[in-house]
Structure 1
Amino acid sequence: MRTSTTTAVLGAAALCALALAGCSQGAPATSDDSSGSGSVAEATADAPAPFDKEGVKIAIVQQSGQGDYFQQYLNGTRQQAEALGVDLSVFDAQGDNAKQASQLEQAISSGVDGIIVRHGLPDTLCEGVNKALDAGITVAIYDVEIQECAPEAVQTQQSDAMMASLVLDKMAEDVAEGDEVGYVNYDGIAPLDRRDAVWQKYVTDKGWEQKFKTGNFTNSSATDTAPMVTAAVQANSGVKAIYAPYDEFTKGTLTGLDQVTGTEDVLVYGADISTADIELMTAKDSRWVATGATDPNAIGAAVMRTLALHMAGELSESTVDFPPILVTQDWLRENDIKNMDDLRAAEPELNISDVSGADWIPVVSF
Structure 2
Amino acid sequence: MMRFTSRTGPIVALGALAFMLAGCTQGDAAPSEAPADTGAVSEATGDAPAPFDQDGVRLAIVQQSGQGDYFQQYLNGTRRQAEALGVDLSVYDAQGDNATQATQLDQAISEGVDGIIVRHGFPDTLCPGVNRAIEQGIAVIIYDVEIQECAPEAVQTQQSDAVMAQLVLDRMLEDVGADAAVGYVNVLGIAPLDRRHTVWQEYVADNGWQQAFQTGAFTNSTASDSAPMVTAAVQANPDIQAIYAPYDEFTKGTLTGLDQVSGTEDVLVYGADISNADIELMRADGSRWVATGATDPNAIGAAVLRTLALHMAGELDGMTVDFPPILVTQETLRDQDIQNMEDLRAAQPELNLSDVSSADWIPSVEF
TM-score normalised according to structure 1 size? 0.93
Q: Which residue matches 2:294? A: 293
> Is 2:79 the counterpart of 1:78?
yes
Q: Which residue matches 1:28? A: 21
Letter in structure 2 aligned against 1:62: Q
- Relative to structure 1, the CA distance from residue 61 to residue 21 in structure 2 (aligned partners, 3 Å threshold; closer, same or farther) is closer
Letter in structure 1 aligned against 2:158: Q
- In 2, the alpha carbon distance for the partners of 1:141 and 1:65 equals 16
Where structure 2 has 5 or more consecutive residues not aligned to the other structure, the ranges are 1-7, 11-15, 24-30
Match of 1:181, SS state, is strand
Determine if contact 2:9/2:100 at 8 Å carries over to the other structure: no
- Relative to structure 1, the CA distance from residue 21 to residue 149 in structure 2 (aligned partners, 3 Å threshold; closer, same or farther) is closer
Q: Which residue matches 2:190? A: 189
Structure 1 residue 29: deviation in Å? 3.4
- In 2, the alpha carbon distance for the partners of 1:195 and 1:43 equals 37
Matches within 5 A, 1:93-112: 93-112=94-113
Matches within 5 A, 1:30-45: 32-33=33-34, 35-45=36-46
- In 1, the alpha carbon distance for the partners of 2:107 and 2:336 equals 47
Match of 2:309, SS state, is helix
How big is each residue's C-alpha offset from its partner over 1:278-336, in whole Å with a ceiling of 9 and x where there is no partner? 00000000000000010000000000000000000000110000000000001100000
Determine if contact 1:24/1:92 at 8 Å carries over to the other structure: no
Q: Which residue matches 1:8? A: none
- In 2, the alpha carbon distance for the partners of 1:312 and 1:216 equals 40
- In 2, the alpha carbon distance for the partners of 1:299 and 1:150 equals 22
Determine if contact 2:9/2:94 at 8 Å carries over to the other structure: no
- Relative to structure 1, the CA distance from residue 143 to residue 29 in structure 2 (aligned partners, 3 Å threshold; closer, same or farther) is farther
Letter in structure 1 aligned against 2:22: A
Structure 1 residue 37: deviation in Å? 1.3
Match of 2:183, SS state, is strand
RMSD after superposition: 1.5
- In 2, the alpha carbon distance for the partners of 1:159 and 1:92 equals 24
Match of 2:213, SS state, is strand
Structure 1 residue 21: deviation in Å? 10
- In 1, the alpha carbon distance for the partners of 2:100 and 2:34 equals 29
Match of 2:271, SS state, is strand
Q: Which residue matches 1:50? A: 51
Identity over aligned pairs, percent:
76
Determine if contact 1:160/1:195 at 8 Å carries over to the other structure: yes
Match of 1:65, SS state, is coil
- In 2, the alpha carbon distance for the partners of 1:320 and 1:170 equals 27
Determine if contact 1:118/1:142 at 8 Å carries over to the other structure: yes
Q: Which residue matches 1:357? A: 358
- In 2, the alpha carbon distance for the partners of 1:169 and 1:78 equals 35
How many residues get paired?
A: 347
- In 2, the alpha carbon distance for the partners of 1:135 and 1:26 equals 28
- In 2, the alpha carbon distance for the partners of 1:119 and 1:75 equals 16
- In 1, the alpha carbon distance for the partners of 2:294 and 2:35 equals 14
Q: Which residue matches 2:210? A: 209
